[in-house]
Copies of this chain bind each other. A is one copy, B any other.
Amino acid sequence: MSSEVIDSNPYSRLMALKRMGIVNNYEQIRNFSVAVVGVGGVGSVAAEMLTRCGIGRLLLYDYDTVELANMNRLFFRPEQAGMTKTDAAVQTLLQINPDVILESYTINITTMDGFNKFVESLKRQVMSHTRGGSTGVDLVLSCVDNYEARMVVNQACNELGQTWMESGVSEDAVSGHIQLLIPGETACFACAPPLVVASGIDERTLKREGVCAASLPTTMGIVAGVLVQNALKYLLQFGLVSKYLGYSALKDFFPTMEMRPNPQCSNEACLDRQKEYLEQKPARDAAKAAAELESAESEASIPLHSDNIWNISVVEDHEPVSSVSTAKQENLPDGLLWELPTADTLETTLSEEILAENGDLDDLQRQLDALNAS
């Protein structure tokens, strides 16, 4: 991956991230394998972004075909109508960047056979270097559009101890979210009770009744953008990876929160990962103390960068999110005043993200009312 600044180098603007001090190791992106599950409005754009970033290896999963009705989202072209989404995606992505190793799986992961193939493909070691963990991929990005498929990704990742990111866009097209799921450490997709979806609504009725969910290329593009941006931050270890980031298009509101795992989670693999995570606590605490000691020593010798008025810095994973606003206020020049949240995180056992999946607000409220009444 060359950093030479010539018009013919597709990586010059990416390698410039090193010169700018944003990413220390950009060329390592060639070593990473990322799985994109669901190649629809979000997944296809996420795959294109990763491809243009020069990701090492991309695994694509979908069983659907391209339709003209998909043309209101980015990526697919009208002449690809009728092709499988995986074939169409490989066609386009290969053309954009032949350096990327593409593997496509035209399978339905919610079937028993599909699930087994999915798990086997995640375990296969192809690249020499991974971000840690025992699988053959560094990160799984879930870009599916239904609850059942999310639960399948959740099951596979819990079993494998595989870190993944979930994404979703509401059926009214004006909200979305991404979420980071680290088995045992953060809430899994089954940890928070999926009140709405588990109550018997079949999402497939939408198509059967001759109606369809709304979608917008803007919302899909924004969700794909924040998903891959956080994937890059996670893989290349710069900035702060969001645990949960929501997006409300009507008001340009971007809530963040964190969700802890549920000790009563119904998913047994999740409970196993939680147990392992707790058992590893002494080792983590020791490593953290050592890192803090080292950090304190280096701070004593090197003065704080007091002239960084925008407070842009590489943030340690363990730094509490609430310190963002405090730090920002202290470093603003005279005459500028920020009115920020004193804390922008929220810990809750009720998953907003699962509630937000449901586009029909009235129906959701009726179900909550019924639960409260019973």
Residue numbers of A with Cβ under 8 A of B are 5-14, 16-17, 19-22, 45, 48-49, 52-54, 67-69, 71-74, 77-79, 81, 95-97, 171-175, 207, 210-219, 221-222, 224-226, 228-230, 232-233, 238-240, 242, 245, 248-256, 307-310, 312-315, 324, 333, 335-346, 348-350, 352, 355-356, 359, 361-362, 364-366, 368-369
Supposing A250-B239, A251-B240, A336-B350 touch, asked if A69 and B365 sit within 8 A by C-beta, the answer is: no
Closest 4 CB pairs of A and B: A239-B250, A222-B225, A307-B365, A16-B214
Q: Which residue of B lies closest to A334 (CB)?
A: B372
What B residues does A238 contact at CB under 8 A? Answer: 250
20 A/B residue pairs, CB under 8 Å, sorted by A: A5-B210, A7-B69, A8-B81, A16-B215, A17-B172, A53-B217, A218-B226, A221-B221, A226-B252, A233-B249, A245-B252, A253-B324, A255-B340, A335-B348, A335-B350, A336-B352, A337-B348, A339-B343, A339-B344, A339-B345
**Closest CB of chain B to A58's CB: distance in Å?**
14
Cα distance A314–B15 when bound, in Å?
Answer: 43
Cα distance A14–B172 when bound, in Å?
Answer: 10
Q: Which residue of B lies closest to A309 (CB)?
A: B365
Decide: B9 and A69 in contact? CB cutoff 8 A.
Answer: yes
Query: Among B13, B245, B336, B359, which residue has its beta carbon within 8 angstroms of that of A69?
Result: B13
Q: Which residue of B lies closest to A362 (CB)?
A: B307
Query: Among B13, B213, B242, B251, which residue has its beta carbon within 8 angstroms of that of A215?
Result: B13
Cα distance A249–B338 when bound, in Å?
Answer: 18
Decide: A365 and B5 in contact? CB cutoff 8 A.
Answer: no
What B residues does A174 contact at CB under 8 A? Answer: 22, 239, 312
Decide: A9 and B336 in contact? CB cutoff 8 A.
Answer: no
Cα distance A222–B220 when bound, in Å?
Answer: 10
Kindly list 17 other residue pairs between chains A and B, CB separation below 8 angstroms, not including A229-B249, A251-B315: A5-B212, A7-B69, A12-B69, A16-B213, A48-B217, A52-B73, A52-B217, A175-B310, A218-B228, A221-B221, A225-B225, A239-B251, A250-B313, A307-B366, A308-B365, A309-B365, A339-B346
Q: Which residue of B lies closest to A67 (CB)?
A: B7
Supposing A222-B222, A254-B254, A352-B336 touch, asked if A172 and B342 sit within 8 A by C-beta, the answer is: no
Cα distance A8–B45 when bound, in Å?
Answer: 21
Cα distance A151–B340 when bound, in Å?
Answer: 30
Decide: A13 and B248 in contact? CB cutoff 8 A.
Answer: no
